[in-house]
Structure 1
Amino acid sequence: MSTRAAVAWAGADPYAAALRTGRGPLFLRRTDGWLLPLEVERWCARADPVDRAVLDRCEGAVLDVGCGPGRLVAELAARGRTVLGIDVSEAAVDHTVRTGGQALRRSVFDPLPGEGRWGTVLLMDGNIGIGGDPRALLDRVAGLLRPGGLLIAETAAVDVDERSEVQVVAGAGDGTGSDTLDRGTRFGRSDGGAGDGGGAFPWARLGTPALLRYAGRAGWRAVGQWAAGGRRFVALRTLSPSNSAEPPKRTALISSQRARKPSVDRPVADR
């Protein structure tokens, strides 16, 4: 995520407020006024059966990119897995730590612990859209994973390949206008109003076919795709060692999944 995007998302007060209460409504609003509902209640709940089935596929140490309030990090920690969440929102990181997980306030494009050593990277809940540039995100994730590492991404439930500028907002405005969206939800049109968050930032929405196209061009190998609970997922694997400019960090892994909030430089690596 670019610096502009990270600042905009992190400064989105409606997002922080929604995480504190565990309730919406909360939306990503495109600059043309269309609204994408965000599933705050599900994100703030415990991992559901669909989530847990995804986590069953994880290998090695797990990095949850855009972890939000940390339900997946907490579930993996409870299983005794080595896991770290990252998010640009302080409220999200704090929530994750309170639920028993480890999390850092970082963008995926910032320097991160354990680069080139992660077994699995998660891009759930639409996070394949981070930064608005799927190819750049895939290249970055490839540099985070160990050779042959696994990426599990959640895609839109419709065939879409969309990039836009969005803003986090609370409330749906007048609700006029609609456009069918994945999981049976809908966009509504908003002309602005109370509850605006930070500035606009780039975002992308990808269906499975679009993600597979980007992944193939970027040198990934598709190893699975499935649907469950109205949600869709893709598993991808790196083909060759990372070409990251910096060598993997060689510091030790966290040993406790229930430690207090770590410093921003505390490293993580595989057990």
Structure 2
Amino acid sequence: MGGAHSTVDDIRADEASIAFCTGPTLDLGCGPGRLTEALTRAGVPALGVDTSSVAVEMTNHRGGFAVEQDIFSALPRAGQWSHVLLADGNIGIGGDPAALLTTVRRLLHESGTAIVEVEPTPDLDDRNRMVRWETGDSVGEWFTWASVGAGALYSLAVAAGLRVRRTIESNGRVFIELAVHSIDRGAEGP
């Protein structure tokens, strides 16, 4: 898991983020596919989704499976996924975490969960911010992003039909496991 520059702490945090993924998992904004690959190698069916053709190629090359697609478009097996991953702050994709969580809810099976990495600052709620990638050699296009902490995620999750199942902290990273909230199952869920 991870690349050449990953620390032991990075690897442990990644492992914590996927530890509860036991069934078909959708990795939204998969990037180069380290989590998609790790799940696949562990025998968990996983599909990465990214808008970058380079990221999709990297994921597929390393042994994962990924498709090049906008995560807000019609994705395969909507309503059937056991788990959806939003790692590495990908709750920020599109700058509107409420819309993204609504999409996640539509993707999940009624007994499914989402693992969402949030900022370690609990009260952070910074939406619709314009950012871009910059390296020593290039400057990317501007795009809309959001950053949220656990406190902001809780209310956004409820509005999307999800509820907090647990908080997982690992090596300075914070992951929130969200479960589908169903009136029929009650607040306690499965």
The reply to whether TM is greater than 0.5 is yes
CA distance in 1, matches of 2:160, 2:59: 32
1:164-202 Cα distance to aligned partner (Å, 9 max, x none): 01112114xxxxxxxxxxxxxxxxxxxxxx62112x221
**Residue 197 of structure 1: which of 131, 137, 140 is its match?**
140
Preserved CA contact (<8 Å) 2:16 2:170? no
- Give 1:59 deviation, angstroms: 3.3
Cα distance, 1:42 vs. partner? 4.0
Q: Determine the structure 2 residue equivalent to 1:75.
A: 38
Q: Deviations over 1:26-66 (max 9, x none)?
A: xxxxxxxxxxxxxxx449x9x71221122121132000000
- In the alignment, is residue 235 of structure 1 matched against residue 170 of structure 2? no
Displacement of 1:140 in angstroms is 0.5
2:70 is the alignment partner of 1:128: no
Q: 1:161 aligns with which of 125, 134, 139?
A: 125
Report how many residues are paired: 178
Relative to the length of structure 1, the TM-score reads 0.62
Instruction: Give me the whole-angstrom Cα distance separating, in 1, the residues matched to 2:126 and 2:171.
Output: 23
Report the counterpart of residue 135 of structure 2 in structure 1.
Answer: 170
- State whether residues 25 and 84 of structure 2, in contact with CA within 8 Å, keep that contact through their aligned partners in structure 1: yes
User: Structure 1: which 5+ runs fail to align?
Assistant: 1-21, 24-40, 172-193, 242-271
What is aligned with 1:258?
none
Q: From the CA coordinates, give the structure whose radius of gyration is larger.
A: 1
Match of 2:102 in 1: 139
Aligned to 1:149, the other structure's residue is in SS state: strand
SS in 2 for 1:131: helix
- Asked if the contact 2:105/2:161 (under 8 Å) is kept, the reply is no
Work out whether residues 59 and 150 of structure 1, in 8 Å CA contact, stay in contact via their aligned partners in 2.
no
| 1:95 alignment counterpart | 58
Code of the aligned partner of 1:197: G
1:1-271 paired onto structure 2 within 5 Å: 41-42=5-6, 48-158=11-121, 159-163=123-127, 164-171=129-136, 195-198=138-141, 200-240=142-182
Give distance in 2, aligned partners of 1:69 and 1:42. 13
* Separation of aligned partners in 2, 1:111 and 1:127: 18
8 A contact 1:93–1:104 mirrored in 2: yes
Give the TM-score of the pair, scaled to structure 2.
Answer: 0.87
Gap runs ≥5 in structure 2:
184-190
2:17, 2:87 within 8 Å by CA — same for their partners in 1? no
Per-residue CA distance 1:110-144 (angstroms, 9 max, x = gap) = 11111110000000001000110111001001110
Q: Secondary structure at the match of 1:119?
A: strand
Instruction: Say whether the 8 Å CA contact 2:48–2:65 is kept in structure 1.
Output: yes
After superposition, what is the alpha-carbon deviation per residue over 1:43-102, rounded to whole angstroms, capped at 9, x for unaligned? 9x9x71221122121132000000011111111111111100000111111110111000
- In structure 2, what is the Cα distance between the partners aligned to 1:208 and 1:240? 21
Structure of higher RCO (CA pairs closer than 8 Å, 6+ residues apart): 1
